[in-house]
Amino acid sequence: YSFIVTIVYWTFVYDPSKNRVDAVNLMVHVLNSIIMLIDLTIVGHPIKLNHAYWTTGIGVGYALFSIVYYLAGGTDRHNDSSIYKMLDWTKPGKSIVICALGIFAVFLMHFLCYCLYCLRVWLYARVCVQANTSKTSSNEKITSITRTLSSMEEAQRENFLNPTAVVDLK
């Protein structure tokens, strides 16, 4: 969500007459995306396309929250009944379109993060694995895998080389 926060804030919310560009504003609306981009490029956490329902679900949850917030009479710090001017539920048609576009944008951002993950995996296979392959003989690799497999229980051994299986290594 950090990328969505940055894009939406600087495109639709930021108003130079009301908002200042200071350290807090930059940390909340820029630094979060920079840190997330660094995290996505160096951390080995997999990103799956079929997990997009989590991020999309959070977007739907926020849209529902904004409706409840409006119906409950919530106001912002300027006593406006909308959380953001573009999400003003006194104009429900516009707000529904904004929510639908926002949820689609979240799904699209998840897809772009997945593409970055695929690029990271491809680079790893291309650079790191090939570099290690030239240094390690195939006999050493087989010995290493055999040692690892022999130290596992039967159920873990069956799924060890299956890339879709989740193995609980205790």
- List, as own/partner pairs, every contact residues 78-82 make where C-beta atoms lie below 8 angstroms and the sequence separation is at least 24, other chains included: none
Q: How many CB atoms lie within 10 A of CB 66?
A: 20
Domain ranges of the chain: 1-43, 49-135
CB-based contacts of 1: which residues, under 8 Å, 6+ apart? 55, 58, 106
* 3-state SS class at 49: helix
pLDDT tens string, the chain, 170 residues long: the values are 788 889 888 888 888 888 888 998 889 889 999 999 999 888 888 888 888 888 889 889 999 999 999 999 988 888 888 888 888 899 999 999 999 998 899 999 999 999 999 998 888 888 876 666 555 555 555 444 444 545 555 555 555 555 555 555 55
